[in-house]
Every structure is written in structure tokens, then in C-alpha cells.
């Protein structure tokens, strides 16, 4: 005897009714819609450590990126059927088309067309809902099915309704290519049921999607029916499709990934609500609003007992007005907005994220099959006591502590493998601190990471298995592969840094050798300049980590300084030539490269390199050259002044020449931008420079002033607010030719006192001031 139970995936009402129906039917075998080649995985669901939500992950062995997820929650009817089978110790099996065939279908030339089913075909519940006058299938299903708990007979009604709907759809979609895939699936399920029955089962319970229920309930065992299904399945071979070797495992899942927003085809919009409905059918509204009240109070929002009572009453009243047998989520949400949120739906988003959807993370036992890499990651997580958790978690590491150092190594190795469980927090700020030589003892030993686990990382771990069997081996292999492929100095320097942070001595040695090869042939000066800052940081700060780690890296690390010295020297020599004939955008890019390189040279503290760059800056600042970018000329003078290679008198000379009438206003503004960017203190502490600049601005005619105004504003925008205020204050007191500078209107014109007197008297009268005649 075969009994088919058509359910809606993840329906709590379906689960409750299914439990009662299975108890009444007492089957000796449970068959579930699911990939048949993953049936062996069902044995692991009996383990006490298996805690839903979980997902069955099936993936191609040769290409783990090709994978499918089959999520289950505690309120999923399929999960309850599995639990029932374990409780009465009867066999369970999946009966749907295996993933080895599914992945082949997806690879076929017409896979996209085959997956394009009509709205009715993909959403039969929605079709019935529209026929019944409901706006969507979820509301209809909740009213007609989910609210009817423990009604075993409901499945016969579902089967009849779906049978009638299928007749309509078949008449309308006889040529629909999506039918081919559905026909394959249903033929496979029928054949699987026949095999179960033939193996000796007397009472088979079949749990499948409601759409498939009619054709599976009408299964026949005669030879003609069997041959018909065999002919359908023969198309898998006749189409030239080859089975793909697959493997399966269980992974933790989350409620947020169960929602339709996450992209899961058979998802639900409100898993948190469904979980509550399943667990508290008799205490639905009080328990629900108690959760909402607890959340609101944590957000410092009022949620009194009186408001909760009003919300419950309003929910029940809305259900009555809408002719519903029982309140649903829509009624509860409307009541929440009215009674608890004072009509403001803003916080409903918070309630949706935290309660209606929720962030519950499942767990799987250690006995579940894992790839060697995933097993190694699990061992590291236990050893370092870092449990994968949902949401962002900020941790601070002190690299002087062995356990924290191991965590840092693990996180960096995972980042190399693109398993982004951990991200460095505020990494840019730390780099800026290092570049400014803030070398406090704590800063070089401190790391901050943000941890956030999500289910898809399990698949990424499987994908990364192609690089090795352990995290160390895989990270080393992938880094060495990246080293072989790259031809960029910046990239190879980044790989050196990553090798040091992840403690990959073999990759570091290869990267240093590759750096020597690339630096010997590199001719682009800007590329050489761009490689200096990260190399200088590695040499200056990387030794902190290297001192703590094993000394296997010492030889490779020691080779960095000669390479760094060579790159810096070649950069300095070629810099003046590289600054000729540059357009504005290229000059701006070169400006940043030069400034960063100077900071890097400061970290190295090598007098020869400092002298080499100063010599280049003198050549760039040469006022007689007309082909060097004026922006870079200004930068060169600024850097020379900052390094005390020239004094204020010489700067004043450079500034006077740059702002003289012999220069066009645009060139003068570009020079000024290069000189003043991030160096407001030069104007504040040397009023001679400010005086020259101020006189130049005053002497500009209106047309030239409007032309260079955007450049001047861009320059001053880099100053701090206090610096700008101080400069403004100084400009009011600067003297020219022994006379104090006039401010306001008096700076450019003489006021006719006689003509102004009537206006001044009237203003004084309005203000109530006494004016002496």
C-alpha cells in the first residue's frame, strides 16, 4: 500500500498534520522527495548533535562550484518525516532525480529553456490562491492548510486540488519545455517507489511537494507503466548527457537563508514566524508579542503590558474582519504597527530581521563526511576555540600571545583561500598609522578582525580543497600559483606581505625570488614607486611577526632590504624624466606615488636613498623647465622643504617665481596645489609665504580668478577646519609695505564718507544707536 502526502516545503501546519497522518498510517518505509544519490546522508540525521536548520549540500567532485542546497528546518514536513522514521526505526530514502543527473541537465545547451516554467507551473499554490480570491499563495496556504493542525485528512484534499489544477495546466502548456524536466523527475520517483515496494515494503509513505502528489498517488505497477517510465528516463542518455560524479554532506543553515530573499527556490518569507507557529500552536499570539516586546525594550522603546494586550486583541479583531479562521502574520504585523509602534513602520524592519525571519544557526555532528580541508578547518576552530557564529563579532588579537598568533595565521590563510569568515577591521587605518611611523609597541602587535560565518562558506571550503588537504598546504599552494602567474610588482609585493602574515615560508621564498626577477626588468617609474610603500612596511613592521614566528623565513626576509634599496634607487634616478609631459590626471597619480614613496624612504632611514630623492626633487623643481608638470614642481618644493633640504628663504624664492606674472594663472594654481596639499602649516608658521600667496590672489583679474578658483578651493579643502580658520585670521593682519592690510570692502576700494553718511545714520537709528554729529 502506498500513501502519498503532498506538502508545502517548510510548512508548520503541514508538519503537524503529517506527524498525525504518519502515526495513523504506520508505514514501514518513508520515501521523501530529495536527491536519490544522497540517501546515505539520511543516516546522519539520527545523531543527537544534528540541529536544524541544516542543509544537504550536493556538489560535483571535479568542480565543487556546481552545487545545490536542500535546506531543512525543524518545522519542515520532510524533516518531521525523517524524525518519525528514526523514532520507529524504519528505512528512509530519497526518491527524486539524483544530483548527478541534475547537474548534467544544467550543463546541457537548453538548460536555461528547460528551467523556464510558467508562473502557474512553478507556483501551483499561488494559482489556487488566485482562484480562491487571495492575493498570494502564502496567505491562502496559511488559511487553508497551516491553520488546520493535526488534520490527517487534509492531504487527500490537497491531492484532489492539485489533480484538478494539473489538468488545467496540461491543457494550456502541452509544449512547455519545463514539462520535460518535471516528467523526468516524476518518472524517477515512480521507479524509486516501485523499487522500494519490490524490496519488500508493504506500506510506503511518500512525502513530496503538493504538485507531484496526484501523479505519484496514481502509480501503477503493470509492465506497460514501468516501460513508459523507463522510456522517459532513457532520454537522459539519448540526449548525450553524462552523469557527473557528486558527493554530499550536511552543513549548518540559517533562517535568513530559508527566506525567499536569499534566493532559495522553495524558500519562505517568514521562517521565524513559522517556527513559532510550529512550536506554540496553542499559545500563538501571547508568545509572539512577548518576543516583540522583549526586542523593543532592548532597543529602549516602550512596550507595556497594556500595549501587548491591545495588540493581541487587535490581531484577533483583524482576523475576524478579514474572515480568517485564525490570525496570521499580516494581522500580527498590522497590530504591531498600530499598538506597539504608534503607526511608525520603521521598526518593523528590525522586527522582521530579528524575529519574523530570525538568525538561527543549525549544527551538524562531527560524524558527517567532510573534505580533508573542511576537517582541518574544524580541528583548528576547536583548537583555537573560535566557534562559527552568525552576525558580526569583533575580536582583538595580541600577536605576542601564541594562541592569538595562531588565530591570525588561520584568518590570513583563509583569506588567501577566499574563505572570508574573518576580515581585518579598520585595516586601512592601521596601514596609515604604520606609514606615519607611529611605532608604539602595542600597535605593531595588535590586530583586529571581524568574524561573520554564513552557510555558503562551507561550499567555499569544499572548493578550496583543490589546493590541498590542510589549510596550510592549500594556502601555500594557492599563493605559489598566484606568484607564478603575476607580472606586477605591486601584486608580488602584496603576496610577500600575505605570505608573512599567513606564515608561508615556502611561498615567501618563491615570492622574494620573483620580486628580484621583476624588479630587474621593470622600467616604469611609477610602478617602482608604488612598490616601495608596501615593501617598506614589510621590512619595517613585518619583522615583528617574523621574530615571533619560526626562523625559517629569516633568509627570505633578509633578502628584502637589498631589493628594496635597489628599487628605491632606480625610482629616484628615473623620477625626473618620468615627470615630463604628463596630463593632469597622470600628474595627480604621480603626485600620490611620490608622496607615498617619500614616506616609505623615511621608514627605511637610508641616507643614500634620501639624498638620491632630494637630488631628483631639485631637478623637478627647476623653474626653467617648461615640460615638467607644475603640480609636481610644487610637490618637489614641498618635500624638499619638509626634509629641510631648503630653508624658508629658498621656498619664498620658488613661490615668488611660480606665482609671478610670467606664469599663467592655471600653471600657478597647479604649482600651488602641489605645494600646499596637506601642508597648511607652511603658511601658518611662515607669514612671508602667506603674504606672497595673498598678494598673488589680490592681483588676479576677475577672469583669471574664476578660472583658478576651483583649483584653489580643492587645495584648501585638504586642510583641517582649524587650520583654515587660522589662515583666515592671519590674512587679516598681514602687512604690505609697512601698512596693515585692509579687510572687507576697504581692501579693494575707498568709501565716500559723505555719500555713505545718510545710510549709516539710518542704520544707527534702526539699531537704536546714538550717533554724534
What does pTM read for this prediction?
0.67
Picking from 716, 718, 743, the residue whose alpha carbon sits closest to that of residue 730 is 743
The residues pairing with 69 across neighbouring beta strands, listed in sequence order, are: 57
Helix H or strand E segment including 698: helix 687-699
Picking from 436, 516, 404, 421, the residue whose alpha carbon sits closest to that of residue 471 is 421
Set of cell numbers at residue 595: 608622496
Question: Cβ(631)–Cβ(674) under 8 Å?
Answer: yes
CA–CA separation, 71 and 254 (whole Å): 9
Q: How many CA atoms lie within 13 A of 48 on its CB side?
A: 0
Helix H or strand E segment including 4: strand 2-7
Q: What does the pLDDT read at residue 21?
A: 92
Question: Cβ(289)–Cβ(490) under 8 Å?
Answer: no
Q: Tell me, what DSSP letter sits at residue 243?
A: P
Question: Cβ(398)–Cβ(311) under 8 Å?
Answer: no
In this structure, the strands spanning 246-252 and 422-424 are unpaired
Set of cell numbers at residue 492: 608580488
Q: What are the backbone angles phi and psi of residue 3, rounded to the nearest 5°?
A: -125, 125
How much of the chain is helix, strand and coil, in % rounded to 5? 65, 10, 30
CA–CA separation, 296 and 475 (whole Å): 45
> Phi/psi class of residue 446: alpha, beta or left (left: φ > 0; alpha: ψ in -120 to 50)?
beta
Question: Cβ(129)–Cβ(314) under 8 Å?
Answer: no
Please identify every stretch of the chain with a pLDDT value under 70, giving residue numbers as ranges.
106-125, 138, 148-152, 169-178, 238-242, 259-267, 425-444, 541-558, 734-750, 768, 771-773
Taking CA atoms, 144 is separated from 155, 174, 324, in Å, by 12, 30, 10
Question: Cβ(537)–Cβ(601) under 8 Å?
Answer: no
Picking from 265, 255, 145, the residue whose alpha carbon sits closest to that of residue 137 is 145
578 alpha carbon, distance to own chain's centre: 39
Helix, strand or coil, per DSSP, at residue 502: coil
Question: Cβ(48)–Cβ(37) under 8 Å?
Answer: no
Q: What are the backbone angles phi and psi of residue 59, rounded to the nearest 5°?
A: -140, 155
Question: Residue 53, preceding bond cis, omega within 30 degrees?
Answer: yes
Helix, strand or coil, per DSSP, at residue 206: strand
Question: Cβ(248)–Cβ(37) under 8 Å?
Answer: yes
Q: How far apart are the first and last CA of the chain?
A: 119
CA–CA separation, 735 and 40 (whole Å): 91
Set of cell numbers at residue 332: 500580527
Residue 660 has a CB neighbour count (10 Å cut-off) of 12
CA–CA separation, 498 and 494 (whole Å): 6
Burial of 323 (0-12, 13-18, 19+ CB in 10 A): exposed
Residue 553 has a CB neighbour count (10 Å cut-off) of 22
Q: Alpha-carbon Rg of the chain, whole angstroms?
A: 37
DSSP letters, 706-745, are HHHHHHHHHHHTTS-HHHHHHHHHHHTT-EETTEEPP-GG
Helix H or strand E segment including 247: strand 246-252
Strand segments, DSSP code E, in 87-141 are 92-96
Q: What does the pLDDT read at residue 205?
A: 95
In this structure, the strands spanning 739-740 and 735-736 are antiparallel
Set of cell numbers at residue 250: 550536511
CA–CA separation, 384 and 338 (whole Å): 48
Q: What does the pLDDT read at residue 177?
A: 52
Q: What are the backbone angles phi and psi of residue 93, rounded to the nearest 5°?
A: -155, 150
CA–CA separation, 605 and 588 (whole Å): 26
In this structure, the strands spanning 29-35 and 204-209 are parallel
Signed CA dihedral, 77, 79, 82, 83: sign only: negative
- Residue 543 CB partners (closer than 8 Å, separation 6+): 557
Q: Tell me, what DSSP letter sits at residue 773?
A: -
Domain residue spans of the chain: 2-51+63-248, 280-356, 372-473
CA–CA separation, 491 and 493 (whole Å): 5
Amino acid at each position: 500500500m502506498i500513501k502519498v502526502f503532498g506538502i508545502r516545503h517548510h510548512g508548520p501546519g503541514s508538519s503537524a498534520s503529517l506527524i498525525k497522518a504518519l502515526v495513523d498510517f504506520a508505514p514501514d518505509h518513508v520515501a521523501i522527495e530529495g536527491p536519490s544519490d544522497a540517501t546515505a546522508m539520511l543516516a546522519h540525521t539520527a545523531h543527537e548533535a544534528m540541529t536544524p536548520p541544516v542543509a544537504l549540500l550536493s556538489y560535483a567532485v571535479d568542480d565543487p562550484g556546481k552545487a545545490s542546497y536542500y535546506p531543512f528546518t525543524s518545522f519542515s514536513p520532510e524533516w518531521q518525516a525523517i524524525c518519525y522514521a528514526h523514532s520507529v526505526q524504519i528505512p528512509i530514502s530519497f526518491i527524486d532525480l539524483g544530483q548527478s543527473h541534475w547537474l548534467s541537465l544544467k550543463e546541457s545547451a537548453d538548460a536555461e529553456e528547460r528551467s523556464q516554467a510558467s508562473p502557474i507551473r512553478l507556483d501551483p499554490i499561488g494559482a489556487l490562491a488566485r482562484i480562491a480570491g487571495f492575493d498570494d499563495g502564502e496567505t491562502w496556504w496559511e488559511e487553508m492548510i497551516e491553520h488546520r493542525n493535526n488534520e490527517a485528512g487534509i492531504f487527500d484534499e490537497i491531492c484532489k486540488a492539485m489533480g484538478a489544477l494539473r489538468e488545467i495546466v496540461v491543457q494550456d502548456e502541452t509544449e512547455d519545455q519545463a514539462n520535460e524536466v518535471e516528467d523526468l523527475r516524476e518518472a524517477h520517483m515512480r521507479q524509486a517507489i516501485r523499487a522500494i515496494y519490490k524490496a519488500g515494503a508493504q506500506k510506503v509513505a511518500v512525502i513530496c511537494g503538493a504538485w507531484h502528489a496526484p501523479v505519484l498517488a496514481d502509480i501503477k505497477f503493470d509492465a506497460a507503466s514501468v516501460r513508459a517510465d523507463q522510456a522517459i528516463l532513457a532520454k537522459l542518455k539519448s540526449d548525450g548527457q553524462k552523469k557527473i560524479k557528486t558527493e554530499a554532506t550536511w552543513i549548518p543553515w540559517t533562517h535568513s537563508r530559508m527566506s525567499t530573499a536569499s534566493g532559495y527556490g522553495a524558500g519562505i518569507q517568514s521562517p521565524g514566524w513559522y517556527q513559532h507557529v510550529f512550536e506554540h500552536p496553542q499559545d500563538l499570539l501571547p508568545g509572539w508579542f512577548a518576543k516583540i516586546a522583549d526586542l523593543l525594550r532592548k532597543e529602549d522603546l516602550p512596550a507595556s503590558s497594556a500595549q501587548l494586550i491591545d495588540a493581541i486583541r487587535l490581531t484577533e479583531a483583524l482576523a475576524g474582519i478579514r474572515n480568517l479562521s485564525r490570525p496570521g502574520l499580516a494581522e500580527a504585523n498590522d497590530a504591531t504597527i498600530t499598538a506597539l509602534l504608534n503607526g511608525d513602520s520603521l521598526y518593523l524592519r528590525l522586527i522582521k530581521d530579528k524575529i519574523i525571519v530570525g538568525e538561527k544557526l543549525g549544527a551538524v555532528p562531527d560524524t558527517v563526511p567532510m573534505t580533508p580541508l573542511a576537517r582541518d578547518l574544524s580541528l583548528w576552530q576547536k583548537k583555537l576555540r573560535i566557534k562559527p557564529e552568525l552576525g558580526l563579532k569583533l575580536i582583538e588579537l595580541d600577536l605576542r600571545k601564541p594562541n592569538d598568533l595562531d588565530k591570525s595565521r588561520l584568518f590570513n590563510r583563509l583569506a588567501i583561500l577566499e574563505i572570508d569568515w574573518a576580515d581585518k577591521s579598520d585595516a586601512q587605518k592601521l596601514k596609515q598609522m604604520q606609514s606615519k611611523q607611529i611605532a608604539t609597541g602595542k600597535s605593531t602587535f595588535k590586530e583586529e578582525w571581524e568574524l561573520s560565518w554564513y552557510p555558503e562558506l562551507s561550499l567555499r571550503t569544499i572548493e578550496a580543497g583543490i589546493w590541498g588537504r590542510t589549510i596550510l598546504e592549500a594556502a601555500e599552494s594557492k599563493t605559489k600559483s598566484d606568484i607564478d602567474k603575476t607580472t606586477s610588482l605591486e601584486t608580488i609585493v602584496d603576496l610577500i606581505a600575505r605570505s608573512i602574515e599567513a606564515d608561508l615560508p615556502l611561498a615567501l621564498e618563491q615570492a622574494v625570488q620573483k620580486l628580484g626577477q621583476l624588479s630587474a626588468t621593470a622600467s616604469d617609474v611609477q610602478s617602482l614607486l608604488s612598490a616601495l610603500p608596501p615593501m617598506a612596511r614589510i621590512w619595517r613592521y613585518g619583522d615583528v611577526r617574523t621574530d615571533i614566528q619560526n626562523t625559517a623565513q629569516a633568509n627570505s626576509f633578509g633578502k628584502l632590504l637589498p631589493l628594496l634599496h635597489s628599487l628605491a634607487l632606480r625610482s629616484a634616478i628615473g623620477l625626473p624624466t618620468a615627470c615630463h609631459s604628463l596630463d593632469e590626471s597622470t600628474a595627480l597619480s604621480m603626485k600620490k606615488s611620490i608622496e607615498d614613496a617619500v614616506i616609505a624612504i623615511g621608514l627605511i632611514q637610508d641616507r643614500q636613498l634620501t639624498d638620491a630623492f632630494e637630488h631628483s626633487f631639485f631637478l623637478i623643481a627647476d623653474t626653467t623647465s617648461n615640460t615638467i608638470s607644475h603640480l609636481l614642481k610644487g610637490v618637489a618644493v614641498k618635500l624638499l622643504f619638509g626634509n629641510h633640504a631648503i630653508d624658508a628663504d629658498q621656498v619664498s624664492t620658488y613661490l615668488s617665481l611660480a606665482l609671478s606674472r610670467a606664469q599663467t594663472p592655471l600653471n600657478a594654481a597647479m604649482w600651488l596645489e602641489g605645494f600646499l596639499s596637506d601642508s597648511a602649516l607652511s603658511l601658518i608658521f611662515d607669514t612671508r609665504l602667506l603674504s606672497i600667496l595673498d598678494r598673488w590672489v589680490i592681483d588676479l583679474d576677475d577672469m583669471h580668478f574664476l578660472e583658478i578658483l576651483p583649483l584653489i578651493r580643492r587645495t584648501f579643502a585638504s586642510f583641517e577646519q582649524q587650520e583654515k580658520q587660522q589662515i583666515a585670521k592671519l590674512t587679516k593682519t598681514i602687512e604690505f609695505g609697512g601698512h596693515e592690510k585692509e579687510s572687507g570692502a576697504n581692501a579693494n576700494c575707498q568709501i565716500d564718507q559723505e555719500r555713505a553718511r545718510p545710510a549709516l545714520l539710518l542704520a544707527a537709528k534702526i539699531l537704536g544707536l546714538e550717533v554724534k554729529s
